[in-house]
Structure formats: structure tokens, C-alpha cells
Amino acid sequence: MESPNLLMKKKAWKTKASRLVLLIVGILVVFSVFQIQNLNTINLSFPNPNHSPASVNNKPRSTPSSSSSARKSNDAPPSSGSKSKIPRWRPSKVDEELVKAKIEIENSPSVINDEQLLYPPIFRNISAFKRSYQLMEEMLKVYVYKEGDKPVFHQPFLSGLYASEGWFMKQMKESKHFLIDDPSKAHLFYIPFSSVKLRFSMYNAETHNHKELVNYTKSYIQLISSKYAFWNRTGGADHFVAACHDWATSETEQSMKTSLRALCNADVHKGFEIGKDISLPTTKIIEEANPHLNVGGKQSHKRNTTLAFFAGKMHGSLRPILLKYWEKKDPKMAIFGPLPKTIKTKNSETNQTTKMSPYLHYMRNSKYCICARGYEVFSPRVMEAIYYDCVPVLISDNFVPPLFQVLNWSEFSVTVPEKDIPRLKQVLMDIPNQRYLELGRGVREVKKHFLWNTKPVKYDLFHMILHSVWFNRLNQ
């Protein structure tokens, strides 16, 4: 018979052994979870991915948090502002391809000089951009939904103030390089939606009710999410839309909030999410057959007469302030309200009378072109200034400049806080002439990235917008 002391010792050893087994099991469980997290994490932050546009030109500007609302669905991915790096959907083969692409971009070789195609100073990280663009061309596959009734879907405007969404839709649907018929192999899903056609076909000006527009986009998402599994798999995180109307943000806020939205009205105070949404350039197209009409202007070193130019209607509260301080106050400050479309001029040598656009004349001859917000933060003047080789001056707090994820706007524009309008001339005069000439070169170099071509070419606006969508998808 065993002694009581021996029995107590055996009992103690059994207790210690049990605790040791539990400890080992616990360590194995923690290690397994850690490994799973490492495998499933999609950490796709490019260099300075959430660099706020407020820091352009080192001018302070207030910007709220980029995440304005929490995701409601448990199946939806975390918002761009979420600290979680673990996707809430099961990673697929295309997700793994995106992770590999991100790793390649992070380890991209340095590009010191590439002036034949790209001008390094206008890019935040020319090396990362070149590798990212190359991988986009090699890998990216986009599925375009065929669902949706015309004219709101599949039939956009190709001219006018909001032409960007139309040109992108046209060239995306015609792309033989990026489109794929098998949605299971797609990295991105494009919703061919026209915010402008929705506004003009469904909005009732008498009731001023936007509910119908919101419900229309909601019904479309309900259609594709019930018919296909792709929206539900990621909560719409791999879907994207390009919409240029002022109301596009509110039209898509309830239905497409989780998707990648390319929006002209890139206002961080009205739902635009930095890191997820894309700032879409507002390109005013006069002739569909000739999107480059009137492009070009006087060389920077020959622009000596007019320091700054603005002309336009008194939309919003800021423009009246601009005119209050500068209209007819200084001969070097050409600040006007609306100008006539054309005026007659006489050639002193030939004595012939011709018509000219005073707006184009000032754009092509002024050193700086003032891009002051109207009712909304965006303005077609930003792109017009670049098209006419005039350095744009952005006066629009909370505006996210187009393609700012990859472009360094401080190298081809000037940002002035709205509160500094009384000091506008002094701010511009304080810029040394050599620096102005550098900005002028930046404008000329960046222009090709903001041009539509009848057939897309490398690094043009179609490809730059698509790259921004690809860029933000990688960062999710």
C-alpha cells in the first residue's frame, strides 16, 4: 500500500503535467491564429497612401477623418480608416494576386531619370508608380456588368462639364486589354452608371426630392447582389463607379458607399473617403470628335502681363469674396465675373475683324489661373488651367485634387487657403520666378496625364483613372 506522502506527490505531478499540456496547447493555438492572420492579412499601403491633400504646398487645411461611417454588414470589408488588416471575406486567388503585386511594388527598383515618358518631380514616388502601372497592365482584369437600363446605365454624355464619367465609361467598355468575360477571374467590377443621366432623367425640379435617385441606385445594387455572388463576397469593396455630377456622392452614399467611387465632387466634408474613393478630374469637353480642342497656351517665360486670372458666375459664397477684394483693384489681377463668350478684335496689320474668346485669351496668357470653388469644391478650371499651360491656384478648402494618390500637386500648382484671399496677390508675388518656371514645366509635363484621347494611350487620363482604382483596391 502506497504511503500518503507518495500519493500526494503523484497527485502533484499529475496536476503539473495537466497544466503543462494546457500551456502547450494554448501556445499552439496562439501560434496557429498568428499564422492565419499573417496569411490572410492584406496590408497594401503604398508610400504615403493617405497623404492628405491639405499638405500640398505645405498650406494648412482642415480635413476630417477619412472614415465617415461604419460598415453595417458583417460581410462587408473594413473601411479604409479601419485598423484591422484582416479581410472579412475569404481570400480568393485574385486576392492572392493582389497581395503578390503589392509586395512587388514595395520592392520596385529605383527610377532615377525617366524623362522620355514620365517627369519624376510630379510624382510622389516614381519608382512605385512605374511598377504599379506595369503590373496593372500585366495583371488587371475588369468585369463590366451588363445589367442596367439605358440611359442611366451604358449611355453617358461625352461632352459638356461632366464628360469625364462618359469618356471613362466608353473607353472602359471598349477596352480589349482589361476586360474579362469570366467574373470569377476579375480583380475589379465596374458599374457602368451615369450620375448625370440619372439627374436629368429622373429628378423632379418641382419637388426637389432626391429620394428617387437614391432609391434607383439602391435597386440596382439589390439586382446585381441577388443575381451574382461577387458583390456579397466583399461587400462591394472590389466594385467601382465613375460619377461626375455634383450629387453623385449623395446618390451613391447608401448603395455604393463600400465600393470604390471615382467622384468629381471630392469633398472630404461630404462623404469622400481618402484612401478608398478616387478624385475624378472634371474635364469639360466641347467636341466629342476632338477632345484636345483649344489645348495649349503661351510659354511660361512669356507670360508677363497678367499675374492672376479668374472669371465666372458668382456660385457659392467664396467667389463674391474674391471679387470684393480683387475685381478692378489691380491691373495685374484680372479678376472678373462672367465674361462674354466672344468679342470682336481688329488686327492692326491686316485691318481684319475676328472673334476671340476673352476667357481663353486670359487662360493662355496669365501666369496663374484662379480655381475658386463654387457651390461645390470642384471646378473645371483646374483642368482648363492645365490644358492651357497656366499654373492652377486651388482655393477650395477640403478639396482632394485629382489623382493625388500618385501625383505631387505641389510641383505644378499652388494651394491657397480660403481665408488668405485678401493676401492673394502677395502670396503669388512671394513665389520666386525660378520656382514659377518650375511649376510651369510641371504643368506642361502633367498635361498628358489629364488628356482624353479618342483611342487610349499609355499614361493618359483613362489609364490614370483606372490606375487610381487599382491603387486603392491594392490598399484595401
DSSP 1-60: ---HHHHHHHHHHHHHHHHHHHHHHHHHHHHHHHHHHHHH----PPSSTT--GGGGGG--
| Residue 291: cis peptide before it, omega within 30 degrees of 0 | no
% of the chain at pLDDT higher than 70: 80
2 confidence band (pLDDT: 50, 70, 90)? very low
The pLDDT of residue 209 is 78
Helices 461-474 and 126-139 cross at an angle (nearest 10°) of: 90
Q: Give the pLDDT confidence of 324-339 residue by residue, as tens digits.
A: 999 999 999 999 999 9
Enter the pTM of the model.
0.81
The pLDDT of residue 466 is 98
- In degrees rounded to 5, what are phi and psi of residue 393? -110, 110
Q: Give the pLDDT confidence of 215-238 residue by residue, as tens digits.
A: 999 999 999 999 999 999 999 999
For the record, the C-alpha cell of 192 comes out as 457602368
109 confidence band (pLDDT: 50, 70, 90)? confident
Q: Indicate the DSSP class of residue 160.
A: B
Task: Give the count of beta carbons closer than 10 Å to the beta carbon of residue 211.
Answer: 8
The pLDDT of residue 115 is 59
475 confidence band (pLDDT: 50, 70, 90)? confident
Helix (H) or strand (E) holding 386: helix 381-387
Q: Which domains does the chain have, with CATH numbers?
A: 140-288+457-474 (no CATH), 300-450 (3.40.50.2000)
Integer Cα distance of 126 and 140 in angstroms: 20
Q: Give the pLDDT confidence of 427-436 residue by residue, as tens digits.
A: 999 999 999 9
pLDDT at 57 over 60: no
Q: Max CA-CA distance within the chain?
A: 132
Integer Cα distance of 43 and 474 in angstroms: 8
The pLDDT of residue 30 is 40
pLDDT at 67 over 90: no
| Mean pLDDT lowest among 190-204, 272-286, 340-354, 417-431 | 340-354
- What is the SS3 assignment for 174? coil
% of the chain at pLDDT higher than 90: 71
- CA 182 to the chain's CA centroid: 27
Integer Cα distance of 463 and 331 in angstroms: 41
pLDDT at 375 over 50: yes
What average pLDDT does the chain have? 84
29 confidence band (pLDDT: 50, 70, 90)? very low
Integer Cα distance of 106 and 103 in angstroms: 5
